[in-house]
Chains A and B, each alone.
Chain A
């Protein structure tokens, strides 16, 4: 055992590079069997619960659940990119899940070197967070040289962050990186104040320092929750994006159109005001709401569905309009990239059937809609989820919104 002072030596050194050799890994047979042996052994020996190799929620419910921890991240100043406003948030590389049909595909980082890079994109004028896959593209540079190949981050949902674009971006060493983000024109149907907007793309560039201080901040800031709540039905509350990881949170209602404009705010103090993609509360939707027999909003796959029939002549259609707003429980995060189909039956005969169109509205956010030519009280309405939301998931959302049973409702007296 020695004691000495290694002074600043570590500060100068760059992180060592580790390149994964998956072929090598895969060739080591019997790994799974080994894992079982280890787990069993530990449990037997110390009499306490086995310590998992990767602490995780065992057997989570097929519902939104409380994850193991609260993520910490560095929030950078919002930027304008054409009509879009975006804020980037940086954390450490961590697992997430892709969705393939009704299955999930876990994604794990290859290396601890790098960042989990996230973007919230919104319309500053209306405060609407853009919850859709629109092909945001990122390119990294360091000292003017490209780093890796460009990438299109995934559309993701997380309990703390709501809808965002994100991906693990491997970096080989500490340094200052420049990121160019390109956003294409918005491909989705837009209504209200968003109609006719976002027809052009936008581009923004920012820099970040990947260094020890950053790692301290985002890894050191991780908060593990009491293990008693892991995996219970519930969710983390949305985070408030106070800038630069400072722990000052302001409790104001931060997800609506407060019209704040922080651009040009270069006064050194970071106060990134990033909206959270919460949909309006169910009660804020006009029209005749379709509820279950016991008067509740219908649910499927742990998502809550607000279904409302708007009167003819609304700004959505000349006829009556069916507006369907699926959202996560607790945090009201919109569920994008679903395929929904509606069928109306009267006396056992189908009177209308067809797909709903995904639409982004400044007032009602992301929803799925369709004009109803012929609807009467007493009609049986069946909403079928042909494809569950294909958005990627952070921990706590990956088991929900996958197996989604059809919703059957009776149309009440129409207002």
Chain B
């Protein structure tokens, strides 16, 4: 059993050689990017999305897996793009160790340089990268890989299913205002490992779902407490702190 074809062919050195289809998409995106970013009344969130691609991949012990972190953003409300971005990834299994993190094409732009800082912490199974476009110009918008993460599968790994999560993420518009971020994770099936299907269908903390309500149609008698953890926010702060230390 090998890695998926896409993961096999995606090597850090090949980032500039984007697939033709993706290129085509990008052209369309750039053509219309500004226009649709500014069409009013979408009433969606102004948020930068980071997701790992592919979101599911198979890998054998001893193999190296390369995943892309794709960033998708329409930029700010007045059309400005992202000037710098940072993200941290983490795996939840000793079977999967990050060995490299490299920039993708998202922030690269004509006539501007990219300041890059990276760190790979094999001990804690995490890696981060921060990138800044200089000069920022109008910034970047659209959907493209912003980083490539190379993970080594331990030679002695047992079959398992490991999650690669983006534990911190940050996108700053060229107006120097931060964008909110959201993330999606990916799963690496090591040696045919299956995910433990202990998926919890209950309400996330701090959310009341209709199906959890008493069926009488009456309103709940008590307001539940408020105790959610701002996990993403806290990790983003951790990331910021790490970033600051490297300066």
Chain A positions near chain B (C-beta within 8 angstroms): 1-7, 10, 13, 15-20, 22, 25, 28, 30-32, 34-35, 37-38, 41-42, 44-46, 48, 51-56, 63, 66, 68-70, 72, 92-95, 97, 106-113, 212, 215-216, 219-227, 229, 232-240, 247, 249, 251, 253-255, 276, 278, 281-283, 292, 295-299, 304, 327, 329-332, 395, 398
Contact = CB atoms under 8 A, between A and B. Distances in A.
B233 A18 contact: no
Nearest to B32: A34
Contacts of A276: 223
B96 interface: no
Contacts of A221: 230, 233
A281 B77 contact: no
Given A4-B115, A112-B78, A34 B47 contact: no
Contacts of A226: 204
Nearest to B24: A41
Contacts of B204: 225-226, 229
Interface of B: 19, 21-22, 24-25, 28-29, 31-47, 49, 51, 53, 55, 70, 72, 74, 76-80, 103, 113-117, 132, 134, 143, 170, 173-184, 203-204, 206-213, 216-234, 236-237, 240, 247
B47 A281 contact: no
Listed residue (A5, A22, A222) with the most chain B CB atoms within 10 angstroms of its CB? A222
Contacts of B178: 215-216, 219-220
A16 B174 contact: yes
Nearest to A64: B210
Contacts of A239: 226
A331 B47 CA distance: 27
B31 A34 contact: yes
A15 B80 CA distance: 12
A108 B175 contact: no
The main secondary structure of chain B at its interface with chain A is mixed
A215 B239 CA distance: 16
Contacts of A229: 203-204, 207, 209
A221 B77 CA distance: 19
B222 A28 contact: no
A15 B210 contact: no
A171 to B, nearest CB: 11
A3 B129 CA distance: 13
B226 A240 contact: yes
B237 A220 contact: yes
Contacts of B39: 25, 31-32, 35
Contacts of A240: 225-226
A110 B181 CA distance: 19
Given A19-B78, A69-B180, A253-B223, A97 B43 contact: yes
A29 to B, nearest CB: 9
B209 A2 contact: no
Given A2-B115, A2-B134, A70 B49 contact: no
A289 B212 CA distance: 24
B221 to A, nearest CB: 5
Contacts of A219: 177-180
Given A110-B77, A296-B218, A2 B113 contact: yes
Contact of A45 (B22, B41, B46): B22
Given A31-B35, A220-B233, A224-B182, A54 B219 contact: no
Instruction: Pick the 5 closest A-B CB pairs, nearest first.
Output: A54-B44, A34-B32, A251-B225, A56-B44, A296-B217
A37 B28 contact: yes
A236 B70 CA distance: 29
A224 B177 CA distance: 19
A134 B4 CA distance: 62
B116 A212 contact: no
A112 B46 contact: yes
A211 to B, nearest CB: 11
A276 B226 CA distance: 12
A298 B113 CA distance: 63
A56 B174 contact: no
Contacts of B231: 223
A52 B44 contact: yes
30 contacts: A1-B116, A2-B113, A5-B247, A7-B247, A20-B38, A31-B38, A32-B39, A37-B32, A38-B36, A48-B51, A68-B47, A69-B45, A72-B233, A111-B77, A111-B175, A112-B46, A113-B175, A216-B237, A219-B178, A223-B228, A232-B209, A235-B208, A237-B207, A237-B223, A253-B222, A253-B223, A281-B221, A330-B208, A395-B43, A395-B45
B78 A111 contact: yes
Contacts of A110: 77-78
Nearest to B84: A10
Given A240-B226, A304-B218, A35 B22 contact: no
Contacts of B176: 10, 13, 15-16, 212
Given A224-B182, A281-B219, A112 B32 contact: no
**Most chain A Cβ neighbours within 10 Å, of B76, B103, B210:** B210
B36 A53 contact: yes
A47 to B, nearest CB: 8
